[in-house]
Structure formats: structure tokens, C-alpha cells
């Protein structure tokens, strides 16, 4: 078996792995991206992604943003808690940005990054399934199946962007996991009220329900118990629309129609450290979060961006790529952002998804206080947009 050598081997060509590969183009660092599936699925993943203004800036630098023509700017976010009075409204002025974020379709984002990747000089193998990882003091080795052959690559740094599937092979990587026992039901829905730009995040004891602006329609992310998710997916369209109306309330009038429904199980999974010997984790491989507040991809994109910076800096300064010093800097840079966003999203779920009347009242008061305290609003909004450093 022949063994090729690259400075960097990226495993997993989801949106975050592809973003890292793009960020490394034209840097003089040799890299390869290995993806088990790789080509955009014909069947569209209906998941909406709320991209923060910070992600928008990174995607512009990667020349991906201009391909994402179907995006809806978020001009207001309404946050409320069912069964209590409080509400907070966030606007771009609160955060000092042109838009609070942009809603895009996962499939569009995937295709846009993928197309840009194909236009670059990046070595990219789709249909390459990694089966084995080994790491030593000086280098790592990746074994993968490609077109019926087993191949091997040696590398200075192995980047896991595989959603966390292969990390079990590396004893130095330890995960914490928490099952929320919730699923997200996702669909595109049309409401009686015609408006654009307003995102609704409504907390209920079963979990949050979000309606994100998708041009004149809404992208629904409805969190429910696993049993209820199955029931909701199986409902006929009129019954589904009535049930959603009953659950969400009357703010948008009745719901008129819905597109294909899909459901995703939700869990919190995060690596205690985002690095190990000759290994760095990015995206969902580093942390998989609850989709409340739409932070997972935004955080993963910042992982990719920071790692690309550290790699490029090491290369320019003729320091060893993937050496303990470089990995320690990456870990140190990401730890604060990753922990803060994880604790923020996890606390939202734990605080708001409950039936306790006293706690519900306290959450309502919290939303009122947030709404009436501009510096606090600015603090929260900027952290949702730019990460922990705001």
C-alpha cells in the first residue's frame, strides 16, 4: 500500500470540514479532505440554519456568501415563554450590526461551499470512508477505503470534522454526553400573517419552538418528545397545521400549508479537550449542541476559522504544524467560546423547558428585564452573533 503525505488531513466533508479546506487554500499548506458521502444529496435536508453576522463575514472571506442568494436577513428576534408574560425583542440596533443573522437552507449552504471547494485546488476525495486513525509523536496515519481500494495517508495533523464518529478510536479523546430526550421536527410552513425578517423563539415546557423567516414563509424547528415527534411526523397536513397553531399561539394567525417534515434527535455531546496528540476537533466533532438559538454551525465555523489561522501562522513562522505548542494555542483559543455557547444553550433548555410555576415566572421576569436593559441586550445579542468574545 502506498502512503501519500499531507500537512493536514481533514476527515469529514460536512459544511465545517469543507470550510476549513477552503480556508487553507492558497496558504502553501498541503491538505486533503476525505468525505464518506460528499456529493450534495438529491433529497434536500430541510433543516434551516440561522447564520450569525459573524458567520456571514467568514463565508464572505471564503467566497461562499455570494453563492448563497436565497438568504433571509433577520431584522427582529421575538423571544417569549408560553404561560408567562415576559417577552424580549432583539433588533440589529441592539447589537450594532446590519442584520441579526441570515436564514439559509442547509442544502443551499452545503452546495455553495461544495461548489467553491470544487473550484479551488484543494485535494478532495468524495466517497472516501476513513476506517482507521493512528497517531504518534511526530505524525498521524489515516487509513480509508476509496473506490474499492484501501489507502493510507500520513500527516502532521489529523482534523476530525466527522461529527464525532471516529474519535472513539483515539483513547485520548473523551466526550461528555447528555440526551435531551427531545427531537426537532423541521418543516417549511406558510402562515396567514405575511411578514418577513422576524424570527420567533417561543419556549414551552416540552422545549422551544422556533419560526425563522424564510422569505415570506417560515422555517419551523419544533422541539418535542421522541414519541410526539413520531406522531407529529405521521399527521396529515391539516391536522399538523392545527396542532402547530395550538402549540405556537395566534401571533401569525393560522398556518396555511407545510412542506416536507423531518425529525432530528437532539443531544449535547462535547469533547473535554478539542485536541489530542496530532489531532484537532472542529464542528460537531468538537461539540454537538441543542439547536435552540441556532449556534452549532456558527460555532463550528469559528472552530474552522481559528484552526486555519493557527495552521497558517505556524507555516509562515516555520513552526511545526500539529506540534503540541500549536495545538495548545488552538485549544486555548476555542475553549472559552465553545464552553460559553454550550453553557448558554444548555441553560436555556434546562431553565425554560419546565412546568415549575415559580421558575416559569422567574424566566418571564428575566425576559422583561432583558428587554428593558439595553446594555444587557447588547451583551446577549453580540455574544449570539460573534461568540463568547462578543
Please report whether residue 292 would count as binding ligand FAD according to CB under 6 A: no
b or e along 221-230 (b: 16 or more beta carbons within 10 Å of the residue's beta carbon)? Answer: bbbbeeebbe
**Which range in 5-13, 25-33, 196-204, 332-340 contacts ligand FAD by CB under 6 A?**
5-13
**Which of 92, 283, 322, 387: binder of ligand FAD (CB under 6 A)?**
283
CB of 197 to ligand FAD, least distance (A): 16
Please report whether residue 208 would count as binding ligand FAD according to CB under 6 A: no
Angle at 288 between CA 283 and CA 290, to 5 degrees: 130
**Which range in 28-36, 62-70, 80-88, 247-255 contacts ligand FAD by CB under 6 A?**
28-36
Residue nearest to ligand FAD (CB): 14
Please report whether residue 213 would count as binding ligand FAD according to CB under 6 A: no
**Which of 34, 79, 113, 276: binder of ligand FAD (CB under 6 A)?**
34
Phi-psi region of 100 (alpha: psi -120 to 50; beta: other; left: phi over 0): alpha
**Which of 35, 94, 228, 337: binder of ligand FAD (CB under 6 A)?**
35
Q: Which of residues 167-196 bind ligand FAD (CB under 6 A)?
A: 184, 186
Closer to ligand FAD by Cβ: residue 114 or 315: 114
Which residue, among 49, 95, 102, 54, has the nearest Cα to 386 in the 3D structure?
54
CB of 388 to ligand FAD, least distance (A): 15
Bridge partners (DSSP) of residue 70 are none
Report strand pairing: 123-126 vs 287-288: unpaired
Distance CA 308, CA 337 (A): 16
User: Three-state DSSP class for 364?
Assistant: helix
Distance CA 321, CA 52 (A): 30
Closer to ligand FAD by Cβ: residue 156 or 284: 284
Please report whether residue 111 would count as binding ligand FAD according to CB under 6 A: no
Distance CA 202, CA 23 (A): 36
Please report whether residue 363 would count as binding ligand FAD according to CB under 6 A: no
Amino acid at each position: 500500500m502506498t502512503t501519500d503525505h499531507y500537512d493536514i488531513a481533514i476527515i469529514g466533508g460536512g459544511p465545517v470540514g469543507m470550510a476549513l479546506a477552503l480556508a487553507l487554500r492558497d496558504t502553501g499548506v498541503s491538505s486533503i479532505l476525505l468525505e464518506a458521502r460528499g456529493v450534495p444529496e438529491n433529497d434536500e435536508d430541510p433543516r434551516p440554519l440561522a447564520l450569525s453576522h459573524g458567520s456571514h463575514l467568514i463565508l464572505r472571506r471564503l467566497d461562499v456568501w455570494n453563492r448563497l442568494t436565497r438568504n433571509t436577513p433577520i431584522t427582529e428576534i421575538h423571544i417569549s415563554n408560553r404561560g408567562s408574560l415576559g417577552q424580549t425583542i432583539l433588533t440589529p440596533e441592539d447589537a450594532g450590526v446590519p442584520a441579526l443573522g441570515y436564514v439559509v437552507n442547509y442544502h443551499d449552504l452545503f452546495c455553495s461551499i461544495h461548489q467553491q471547494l470544487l473550484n479551488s485546488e484543494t485535494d478532495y476525495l468524495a466517497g472516501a470512508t476513513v476506517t482507521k486513525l493512528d497517531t504518534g509523536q511526530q505524525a498521524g496515519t489515516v487509513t480509508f477505503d476509496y473506490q474499492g481500494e484501501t489507502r493510507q495517508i500520513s500527516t502532521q495533523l489529523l482534523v476530525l470534522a466527522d461529527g464525532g464518529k471516529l474519535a472513539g478510536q483515539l483513547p485520548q479523546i473523551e466526550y461528555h454526553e447528555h440526551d435531551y430526550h427531545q427531537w426537532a421536527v423541521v418543516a417549511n410552513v406558510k402562515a396567514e400573517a405575511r411578514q418577513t425578517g422576524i424570527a420567533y423563539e417561543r419556549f414551552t415546557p416540552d422545549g422551544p419552538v422556533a419560526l425563522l423567516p424564510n422569505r415570506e414563509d417560515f422555517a419551523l424547528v419544533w422541539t418535542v418528545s421522541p414519541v410526539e415527534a413520531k406522531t407529529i411526523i405521521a399527521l396529515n397536513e391539516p391536522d399538523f397545521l392545527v396542532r402547530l397553531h395550538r402549540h405556537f399561539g395566534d401571533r401569525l394567525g393560522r398556518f396555511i400549508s407545510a412542506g416536507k417534515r423531518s425529525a432530528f434527535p437532539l443531544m449535547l455531546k462535547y469533547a473535554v479537550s478539542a485536541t489530542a496528540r496530532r489531532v484537532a476537533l472542529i464542528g460537531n466533532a468538537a461539540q454537538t449542541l441543542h439547536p435552540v438559538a441556532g449556534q452549532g454551525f456558527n460555532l463550528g465555523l469559528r472552530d474552522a476559522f481559528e484552526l486555519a489561522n493557527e495552521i497558517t501562522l505556524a507555516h509562515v513562522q516555520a513552526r511545526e504544524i500539529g506540534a503540541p505548542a500549536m495545538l495548545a494555542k488552538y485549544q486555548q483559543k476555542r475553549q472559552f467560546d465553545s464552553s460559553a455557547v454550550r453553557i448558554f444553550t444548555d441553560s436555556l433548555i434546562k431553565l425554560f423547558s419546565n412546568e415549575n410555576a415559580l421558575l416559569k415566572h422567574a424566566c418571564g421576569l428575566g425576559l422583561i428585564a432583558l428587554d428593558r436593559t439595553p446594555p444587557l441586550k447588547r451583551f446577549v445579542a453580540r455574544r449570539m452573533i460573534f461568540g463568547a468574545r462578543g
